[in-house]
Amino acid sequence: MKRSSIILLLVIALLIGVLVSTIQDASTYASFDMAQKQAPETVTVVAQLDLDSPITFDPQTSMLTFTAIDKDGQSSTVLYNQPKPQDFERSEEITIKGRAGDGQFVAIEILMKCPSKYTEEGGVMADDEASIYTENS
Amino acid sequence: MNYMGEHDIWIQSGRFAVALAFAAALIASITYLMSWMRKDGAALRRAGRAAFMLHAAGVIGTVVILFVAILNHWYELDYVWRHSSNDLPLEYIASCFWEGQEGSFLLWMFWQSVIGLVLIKVAGQWEAGVVGVLSIVQVFLTSMILGVYLGDLHIGSSPFILIRELPENLGLPWTDMVDYLMRVPGFSDGQGLNPLLQNYWMVIHPPTLFLGFALITVPFSYAMAALLNRDYSAWVNDAMPWVFAGVGILGTGVLMGGAWAYEALSFGGFWAWDPVENASLVPWLTLVALGHLMIIERVKRKATTSTLMMAMLTFFLVLYSTFLTRSGILGDSSVHAFVDLGLNGQLLVFLGFFSVLPLGLFLMRWKDMPKSPSEDAFSSREFWMFIGSLTLLLSAAQITFSTSIPVINKLVGPDGMIALLSTELAPPVEPFAHYHSLQIPFAILITTLMAIGPYLRWKSTPWSLFKRITLSGVISLLIASLVVWGLALYTFSYALLIFTSLFAVISNATYWLKYLKGQWTVGAMTISHLGFALILIGAVISNAKKEPISTNSTFIHQDFPSNENLLMPFGDTLSMYPYWVVWTGEHQDGHNRVFDVDFYLEDDSTHRSGTRLKLNKAFTLHPFVQINETMGNVREPSTKHYWDRDIYTYVSYADLRPASVKNAEWAEPMTAIVAKGESILLFNQYLLNCDSIAIDLASFDQFTGDLANLSMRMILRVQDSLGVDHPLDVTYQVEGSSALPGEQVLEDMGLKIRFDGVSDTAGQFKITAWERNPKQDPFILMQAFVFPYINVLWLGCLLLLIGSVLSVAKRIKKLKG
């Protein structure tokens, strides 16, 4: 009985350890404000693309610059040193992993949520909630 | 009302087939289980069998009708419209079938009905219990495609629902048109298959994965039947072939997913620890643990409770991963979760039913179950096998916890049921670091156990047996050192894992060749262990030494290390060590925009002579971008395979506009209305002043009084941003029935203006203006990686599959013998 009890305890201890490590490694969803306070910690911001501000992509440096509005309505310039994702302007929501820099947000990874174009001509069919996910990293 | 063009009989039959499958499964489960609980229930068993066969007929009928509908483009069906289109190649019809949730549930229950039919044939005295439990699972699965509305309650989503019957369309005027299918243009073509899924992997990956899931239901059903009948151990023998078949098939399915990601998607690797990938891996890990516990139970009768527990847990994890991928809860964290169909409540009931009831039954039987009276010896095979299974369980636990972060948020997040956390948790920022921090130590332990395993004996192992592995240990240490040194793989955990994995490879190979004389019939264990160890070696090396060879070294800021995108102007020869690359062409192939990239190697003579660079063409790659208007473009990689490495490339950015647009002299025009003395803004930067408009000539037809000839002239001035005026005059002429608009080009400003005649309002005139297309040298951005020794991984997969097949064969043979 003795050894099996030890093993059982060990397994339980490891399970707790695993859970704790998960919570420790997890990042947090933040607003741009919180990101600024927590800098240089990496956070995840769920935001929307600001289509009224310019979205520029410089192929020479492969630098994408755009403005995003977080869920609190605050906007920030975001720099993303990767090629511009396909259909970037069409995304309805973007999940940006990164951290705050000098007045800008530096993205490491961007995950886009795109609506699929479902609407039929003449409004025969209602919009569909269906969406696809495309990762561009 | 009879609608024209609807395939009413087929669709009604489809709905009937679903209803039949549901009702028959319900009857089968009740009669079978009643027969199981009473030992004399032969008549009930026959009834159960008949009901199950009806159920299988219903499921197969549903599958056939849905296939027919997709094949014939019956777009009145929502499912067909949503997932297929006219131009879809025949080979992807199958993919359409299981692209949606309904179809993939159908695929899953199809496999389970087939398995049920096989079980009726082979399960013997276990039939009633096992097929009875399986039928309950089928009841739940069928309910997911039932599509019944009870008031506001919505049970299942039917693949046979018509678009006009969708709640959002009810009462719309077109639904009253008898010939709406011909009248409404939307019905002439479907939505099409997501281009990401237009791939042969999508044809073979889901059926394999779901067959694996379906096989997991078998040990679960056996375990439940065993608990119901208080016969806790005998089931293990019968269930074992199914478990090892599941290990092989689910394993293949999971790895196919990886191969798909690697071959066809530009995720930059074969495993990304994506939640959906994880969800399929976790049940595989516990299934492997279950297989090992079953071996202990069969030989030593010492793992009764843990085997039952693991069978229940593995099945639960299949359902849990179904819930994760299908409820939409992973929406923010995964690339390829399913779309939410509003079936979450039902999925939760499903999940709850199959966790509470089995667990309750298990606890009820707890006192009754035999417990092992003695401790396992420290040197026994069963002890270490048990430890190995526990390690797999822990590994599964970590992956499950991390994948469940969105669930944790729902439960204890700030907006969750019990608000324990102040902020919402997001998935780890660096998934690799997170998962590897624990998975690598687990893998080290597992591979060590696999290395020693074959030499351990049941009950206890004499020391002399351990001496046999010393040599393997020494040899693998030597080879591992060479590998680590040769590849400069100086991360301690990786290096250690390379060593333990090599140890497992060499010790298993030695054992098989030397002690088992290389016989296939008894090689199941050693070959699958060898395969698994090779998978790990291939994964570690190809991942840790994955090397981007494309670089953009432009220095921007310290925050931005030079990144992995090579800017390739058309036709330029660029260095991408050790290659020289040239973008030589681009063409359209169906939906795909294909780019041709030539790879050159330096000739040996270059270095000797040191004078002129001489290049030899090595190969050409064709990465492409699939153009899809509706669902977004997809970039797909192209890979050159060598035996020891892969050169993996994809185009990360390209101007995808059609050549006619890209190369046109003038960009998109704008139209404007001008009037004398007024000014308007052109392209937000030029001021256009209309100074005068004169009619030079106007004559009328003397009989009809219509305008016969007209000649107008407009004097304009375009002011640039510096305030400099550029004058121009354009004419507009009418001769009889034809109009001749005149145009003029302002070369130095890159503008063209055309006079389009009079507008509807008197005194106002129409013009069109163009800006010159900026001359841009065409370029693409490309990423290229070298994945070294990735073939070791695929070799390992093959061996693991062979090992699983061998073990199934062995278990079946033992059952018969």
Of A22, A44, A132, the CB nearest to B398: A22
CA-based nearest residue in chain A for residue B168: A126
Residues contacting residue B282 through CB under 8 Å, at least 6 positions apart:
B317, B321, B396, B399, B400, B403
pLDDT reading at A98 higher than 60? yes
Report the SS3 class of residue B488. coil
Are A111 and B332 in contact (CB < 8 Å)? yes
Q: What are B601's strand-pairing partners? A: B579, B616
Q: Give chain B's length.
A: 817
Is residue B17 within 8 Å of B61, Cβ to Cβ?
yes
B585 φ, ψ to 5°?
Answer: -170, 170
Strands, sheet with B707-719, edge to edge from the N-terminal-most edge strand:
B679-682, B686-700, B707-719, B725-735, B738-741
When the pLDDT of each residue in chain A is averaged and rounded to a whole number, the result is 76
Are A90 and B632 in contact (CB < 8 Å)? yes
Report how far apart, in Å, the C-alpha atoms of B116 and of each of B154, B737, B808 are. 28, 78, 18
Instruction: Give the per-residue pLDDT at A123.
Output: 29
- Over pLDDT 90: what percentage of chain B? 44
Beta strands in B84-171 (DSSP E): 148-150, 153-155
Are B423 and A108 in contact (CB < 8 Å)? no
Interface test with A, best of B82, B194, B343, B401 (most A CBs within 10 A): B401
Residue-wise DSSP of B686-701: EEEEEEEEEEEEEEE-
The answer to whether A24 contacts chain B (CB < 8 Å) is no
Residue-wise DSSP of B164-191: GGSGGGTT-GGGG-TTHHHHSGGGGS--
Are A25 and B426 in contact (CB < 8 Å)? no
The answer to whether A116 contacts chain B (CB < 8 Å) is yes
Instruction: Give the per-residue pLDDT at B113.
Output: 97
Helices (H), B413-489: 431-452, 463-487
pLDDT reading at A136 higher than 60? no
Of B332, B375, B652, the CB nearest to A46: B332
Which tens digits make up the pLDDT trace of B588-612?
A: 888 889 999 999 998 877 666 566 7
The domain limits of chain B are: 1-198, 199-400, 461-546, 574-622, 661-771
pLDDT reading at B681 higher than 50? yes
Give the Cα separation of B327 and A17 in Å (integer).
Answer: 28
Chain B contacts in chain A segment 48-107 (CB below 8 A): 57, 59-63, 79, 81-84, 86-87, 90, 95, 97, 101, 106
> Lowest mean pLDDT: which of A10-19, A86-95, B102-111, B328-337?
B328-337
Mean pLDDT over B224-250 rounds to: 94
CA-based nearest residue in chain A for residue B186: A120
Closest by Cα among A48, A106, A38 to A78: A106
Of B169, B397, B425, the CB nearest to A126: B169
Mean pLDDT over B748-777 rounds to: 82
Closest by Cα among B404, B210, B425, B254 to B324: B404
Q: A29 to chain B nearest CA, in Å?
A: 6
Are A134 and B625 in contact (CB < 8 Å)? no
Give the Cα separation of B616 and B604 in Å (integer).
Answer: 10
Mean pLDDT over B14-32 rounds to: 96
Instruction: Give the per-residue pLDDT at A120.
Output: 31
The answer to whether A5 contacts chain B (CB < 8 Å) is no
Is residue B529 within 8 Å of B508, Cβ to Cβ?
yes
| Helix or strand holding residue B574 (H, E) | strand B573-576
Q: Which residue has the higher pLDDT, B134 or A37?
A: B134
Instruction: Give the per-residue pLDDT at B537.
Output: 95
Rounded to a whole number of angstroms, the CA Rg of chain A reads 21
Of A3, A28, A125, the CB nearest to B423: A28
Provide the pLDDT confidence category of residue B527 given band limits of 50, 70 and 90: very high
Q: A50 to chain B nearest CA, in Å?
A: 19
Is residue B734 within 8 Å of B749, Cβ to Cβ?
no
Instruction: Give the per-residue pLDDT at B482.
Output: 95
CA-based nearest residue in chain A for residue B341: A130
Instruction: Give the per-residue pLDDT at B444.
Output: 97
Q: Chain A contacts of B635, Cβ < 8 Å?
A: 86
CA-based nearest residue in chain B for residue A42: B429
Q: What are B726's strand-pairing partners? A: B718
When the pLDDT of each residue in chain B is averaged and rounded to a whole number, the result is 87
Instruction: Give the per-residue pLDDT at B46.
Output: 94
Are A132 and B168 in contact (CB < 8 Å)? no
Instruction: Give the per-residue pLDDT at B424.
Output: 79
Provide the pLDDT confidence category of residue B248 given band limits of 50, 70 and 90: very high
Q: Which of A36-50, B259-273, B376-390, B666-680 is modeled with the greatest confidence?
A: B376-390
Report the SS3 class of residue B359. helix
Are B426 and A114 in contact (CB < 8 Å)? no
Q: B44 to chain A nearest CA, in Å?
A: 43
Are B552 and A62 in contact (CB < 8 Å)? yes
pLDDT reading at B22 higher than 90? yes
Mean pLDDT over B358-385 rounds to: 88
Give the Cα separation of B455 and B377 in Å (integer).
Answer: 15
Cis peptide upstream of residue B778 (ω within 30 degrees of 0):
no
Instruction: Give the per-residue pLDDT at B333.
Output: 56
Helices (H), B265-371: 275-300, 304-326, 344-365
Q: Which residue has the higher pLDDT, B17 or B671?
A: B17
pLDDT reading at B167 higher than 60? yes
Instruction: Give the per-residue pLDDT at A132.
Output: 28
Of A46, A97, A106, the CB nearest to B429: A97
CA-based nearest residue in chain A for residue B438: A18
Instruction: Give the per-residue pLDDT at B216.
Output: 97
Exposed e or buried b for every residue in B366-400, given b needs 16+ CB within 10 A?
Answer: eeeeeebeeebeebbbbbbbbbbbbbbbbbbbbbb
Give the Cα separation of B415 and B430 in Å (integer).
Answer: 25
Q: Chain A contacts of B174, Cβ < 8 Å?
A: 124
Q: How many CB atoms lie within 10 A of CB B805?
A: 18
Q: Which residue has the higher pLDDT, B459 or B59?
A: B59
Give the Cα separation of B582 and B597 in Å (integer).
Answer: 6
pLDDT reading at B372 higher than 60? yes
pLDDT reading at B740 higher than 90? no
Is residue B784 within 8 Å of B648, Cβ to Cβ?
yes
Interface test with A, best of B164, B176, B267, B332 (most A CBs within 10 A): B332
Q: Chain B contacts of A133, Cβ < 8 Å?
A: 331, 334-337
Q: A59 to chain B nearest CA, in Å?
A: 7
Q: Which of A76-90, B312-326, B404-418, B691-705 is modeled with the greatest confidence?
A: B312-326
Of B563, B629, B631, the CB nearest to A62: B563
Of B174, B375, B559, the CB nearest to A124: B174
Of B186, B387, B567, the CB nearest to A121: B186
Q: B398 to chain A nearest CA, in Å?
A: 6
Q: Chain B contacts of A126, Cβ < 8 Å?
A: 166, 168-169
Are B779 and A118 in contact (CB < 8 Å)? no
Give the Cα separation of B130 and B218 in Å (integer).
Answer: 7
Instruction: Give the per-residue pLDDT at A37.
Output: 85
pLDDT reading at B720 higher than 50? yes
pLDDT reading at B798 higher than 80? yes
Are B652 and A118 in contact (CB < 8 Å)? no
Which tens digits make up the pLDDT trace of B114-156?
A: 999 999 999 999 999 999 999 999 999 999 999 888 777 788 8
Q: B404 to chain A nearest CA, in Å?
A: 10
Q: Chain A contacts of B339, Cβ < 8 Å?
A: 129-132
Instruction: Give the per-residue pLDDT at B510.
Output: 92
Cis peptide upstream of residue A83 (ω within 30 degrees of 0):
no
B457 secondary structure, DSSP code:
B
Provide the pLDDT confidence category of residue A92 given band limits of 50, 70 and 90: confident
| Helix and strand counts by DSSP (H, E) for chain A | 2, 8
Q: Which residue has the higher pLDDT, B375 or A18?
A: A18
Provide the pLDDT confidence category of residue A130 given band limits of 50, 70 and 90: very low
Of A25, A86, A118, the CB nearest to B633: A86
Instruction: Give the per-residue pLDDT at B631.
Output: 65
Q: B627 to chain A nearest CA, in Å?
A: 10
CA-based nearest residue in chain A for residue B434: A25
Mean pLDDT over B270-299 rounds to: 92
Provide the pLDDT confidence category of residue B547 given band limits of 50, 70 and 90: confident
Are B426 and A43 in contact (CB < 8 Å)? yes
Interface test with A, best of B432, B560, B776, B783 (most A CBs within 10 A): B560
Instruction: Give the per-residue pLDDT at B678.
Output: 83
Q: How many beta-carbon contacts under 8 Å exist across A and B?
A: 167
Give the Cα separation of A108 and A106 in Å (integer).
Answer: 7
Q: How many CB atoms lie within 10 A of CB B717?
A: 15
Mean pLDDT over B404-419 rounds to: 81
Mean pLDDT over B710-739 rounds to: 83
Q: B402 to chain A nearest CA, in Å?
A: 6
Give the Cα separation of B747 and B751 in Å (integer).
Answer: 7
Q: A77 to chain B nearest CA, in Å?
A: 15
Instruction: Give the per-residue pLDDT at A127.
Output: 30
From the candidate CATH numbers 3.10.310.30, 2.40.30.110, 3.20.20.140, 2.40.50.140, the one assigned to the domain spanning A28-136: 2.40.50.140
pLDDT reading at A135 higher than 50? no
Provide the pLDDT confidence category of residue B663 given band limits of 50, 70 and 90: confident
Taking each helix axis as running N to C, give the angle between helix A2-25 and helix B381-403, from 0 to 180 degrees, rounded to the nearest 10.
20
Tokens for B603?
């000739």
Q: Chain A contacts of B397, Cβ < 8 Å?
A: 15, 18
Instruction: Give the per-residue pLDDT at B609.
Output: 59
Tokens for B6?
């609807």
Q: Which of A19-23, B45-49, B201-205, B733-737 is modeled with the greatest confidence?
A: B45-49
pLDDT reading at B169 higher than 70? yes
